[in-house]
Structures are given as structure tokens and as C-alpha cells.
């Protein structure tokens, strides 16, 4: 009954409704135009020039401060190197935020209403168009305070391992052992496990594996490995040295765990330990497991 009445009303009064609807859309458009007029300030040539100057200065300042902080961090005592580098993202964020505020202040009337309107609109637009980009920026901002990784840390994200060289707005850059630079977006912290070897400190544990036959005297090998670590020029003796022994089907696996004075020397350190340990093993007559590929497959299986 109601449906019929409504349908009758609709069919009979359509032109009238259409008129009201058109009028309402017109009002709404006019209102939006008025709001936009309120929101935007008058754009003049001076303001455009000022905006360009602000962008250029902010860009140049970011680059200059980046270079200066990196330059100084490599010249001061190592204990301060990472602290100075970790300061870089904060400086960048400060410059960027200041530039954005100055730009908004030039072109927009930032009243309370306008700020709410802009925030809603921008959030909606960005939500659709730059979802991943915004996600990375937010992750980057949170990362500054949560610090799952900082500049100078040695981290592993997914398959990539290396030293964090830079911490940008959208992502970080890793220098891998092969000297490749890998860019990784910050939003990986939502989904990937991040393994951090040094968490802001200079030292990171290095594990060096040695494979010997079952017949090798494990106690003697352990003593040799301790001495190898104690006499390496890279070893940080303030931190513990450990040797872990594991029996395998094909032989005995010895893992020497120690810390270099500077995590940057990780691979040189590993090489130094391996060279000197192998030399001593040779002197002591220790032999290595001699396995075919098939034996190895069977052992793994």
C-alpha cells in the first residue's frame, strides 16, 4: 500500500523532484566552491616564487645536512658514529615538516574547519591512490620511534642482508656484502620479520663454521678456536667468545661465535678467523670430511 502511494507520488511529482534535486546539487556545488574559496588563499606570483624557494631550500638543506652528518660521523670516534647517523632521519623529518607547514601556510587558510576538511579529503584521496606509499611513510615515522632498525645496523629483511645506509621517508637502503644497494619500503615492518644483528651498537656477533672429521680431537679444536678469536686483531674482548660443537652424520661442526670491534669488519673478521684456524688445523694434522654430493644429499635427508 505504502509502496503504491510512493510510486504514485514519484510518478506524478517527478518534474518537481527533479527541480529540487537540481537546485540542491547547484547549492552544494556553490557551497563547495565557497568552501574552496575559503580554504585557498589568493595565489600571487610572489607566493609561487616563495613556494619554489621553500622547496629548493628544503631540498638543499636536507642534502647538505645529510652529507654533513655522514661526513662528521666517519671522522669522529667510532662509538659516536652510529649515534650521529641515527640522528639523520629525525633531521630530515624536521626539515620536511617545516617545509610542508610553510607551504600550507602560504596557500591555505588553516582554520580549524579547513584543517578537518583537508585532512578528510587528503586521507580519502591518498587512501585510494597511494595506499602503499602512505603505508610506507607511516611505517617509517613509527619506525623512527620503535626503531626496529637504524642507520648503521646490520639487518636481514626477507632475503636481503646488509648494513642500513640510509633511512628515507619511504624506505631504507641496505648495502649487501656484494656491495649492492637494495631499497626496501618501510611497510615491510608490518609483514616481514626483521632480524637485527647489532641494534644500534658497534658490535654484532659473527658466527664462523668449521667442518672437521669425527676423529678430530674436539677439545683441542675448541681450544684452538678460542685462541684464534683471542688473537685476532678484530675481536672485541669485552664481549664473550663461545664455541658450539654439533655432531653431524658427515663429521663434526664447530661454530665459533665472537664479536668484532666494529660490525663493519664482519667479513674481514670471518676471513681472518678462518685463515688462521685452518693454518693451525693443518699444523695439527686435522682432516676435513670428504663427502660426495650424494653423501651430502643423504646426510641432509
Q: Where along the sequence are the contacts to another protein (CB under 8 A)?
A: 76-80, 202-203, 224, 227-228, 230-234, 236-238, 261-262, 272, 275-276, 279-280
> Judged by CB, which is closer to another protein: 37, or 233?
233
User: CB 78 → another protein: shortest distance, Å?
Assistant: 4
In degrees to the nearest 10, what's the CA dihedral of 111, 112, 115, 119? -170
**Closer Cβ to another protein, 137 or 204, answer by number:** 204
Which CB atom, from 39 or from 261, has the smaller least distance to another protein? Answer: 261
Helix ranges restricted to H, the chain: 2-12, 14-39, 45-73, 78-86, 88-107, 112-129, 131-146, 188-191, 218-230, 266-284, 293-300
Contact 150, 167 (CB under 8 A): yes
Whether 229 and 277 have beta carbons less than 8 Å apart is answered as: no
By beta-carbon proximity to another protein, the closer residue of 139 and 258 is 258
Give least dist CB 289 to another protein, A: 23
Least distance (Å) from another protein to the CB of residue 233?
A: 5
Show the cell assigned to 154: 646490520
- Residue 62 or 232: the one with the smaller Cβ distance to another protein is 232
Measured from the CB atom, is 193 or 237 closer to another protein?
A: 237
Instruction: Supply the minimum distance, in Å, between the C-beta of residue 89 and another protein.
Output: 24
User: Distance (Å, rounded) from C-alpha 272 to C-alpha 179?
Assistant: 20
* Strand 181-185 versus strand 160-167 pairing type: unpaired
Least distance CB 282 / another protein (angstroms)? 12
Contact 88, 69 (CB under 8 A): yes
Cα–Cα distance measured from residue 1 to residue 7, given in angstroms and rounded to the nearest whole number: 10
Nearest to 286 by CA among 229, 208, 213, 209: 213
Between 170 and 276, CB nearer to another protein: 276
Min. distance of Cβ 165 from another protein in angstroms?
17
Closest CB 192 distance from another protein, rounded Å: 30
Q: How far is Cα 251 from Cα 218, in angstroms, rounded to an integer?
A: 11
Amino acid at each position: 500500500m505504502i509502496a503504491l502511494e510512493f510510486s504514485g507520488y514519484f510518478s506524478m511529482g517527478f518534474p518537481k523532484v527533479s527541480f529540487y534535486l537540481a537546485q540542491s546539487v547547484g547549492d552544494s556545488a556553490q557551497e563547495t566552491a565557497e568552501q574552496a574559496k575559503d580554504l585557498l588563499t589568493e595565489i600571487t606570483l610572489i607566493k609561487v616564487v616563495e613556494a619554489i624557494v621553500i622547496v629548493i631550500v628544503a631540498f638543499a638543506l636536507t642534502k647538505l645536512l645529510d652529507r654533513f652528518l655522514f661526513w662528521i660521523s666517519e671522522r669522529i670516534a667510532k662509538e659516536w658514529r652510529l649515534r650521529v647517523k641515527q640522528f639523520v632521519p629525525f633531521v630530515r623529518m624536521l626539515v620536511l615538516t617545516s617545509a610542508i607547514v610553510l607551504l600550507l601556510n602560504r596557500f591555505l587558510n588553516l582554520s580549524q574547519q579547513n584543517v578537518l576538511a583537508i585532512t578528510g579529503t587528503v586521507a580519502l584521496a591518498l587512501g585510494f591512490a597511494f595506499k602503499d606509499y602512505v603505508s610506507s611513510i607511516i611505517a617509517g615515522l613509527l619506525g623512527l620511534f620503535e626503531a626496529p632498525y637504524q642507520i648503521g645496523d646490520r639487518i636481514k629483511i626477507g632475503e636481503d642482508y646488509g648494513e642500513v645506509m640510509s633511512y628515507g621517508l619511504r624506505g631504507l637502503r641496505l648495502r649487501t656484502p656484494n656491495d649492492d644497494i637494495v631499497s626496501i619500503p618501510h611497510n615491510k615492518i608490518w609483514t616481514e620479520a626483521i632480524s637485527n644483528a647489532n641494534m644500534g651498537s658497534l658490535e654484532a656477533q659473527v658466527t664462523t663454521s668449521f667442518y672437521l672429521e669425527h676423529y678430530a680431537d674436539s677439545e683441542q679444536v675448541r681450544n684452538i678456536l678460542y685462541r684464534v678469536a683471542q688473537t685476532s686483531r678484530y675481536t672485541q674482548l669485552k664481549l664473550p667468545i663461545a664455541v658450539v660443537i654439533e655432531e653431524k652424520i658427515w663429521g663434526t661442526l664447530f661454530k665459533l661465535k665472537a664479536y668484532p670491534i666494529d660490525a663493519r669488519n664482519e667479513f674481514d673478521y670471518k676471513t681472518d678467523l678462518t685463515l688462521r684456524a685452518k693454518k693451525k688445523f693443518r699444523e695439527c694434522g686435522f682432516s676435513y670430511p670428504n663427502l660426495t654430493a650424494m653423501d651430502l644429499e643423504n646426510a641432509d635427508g
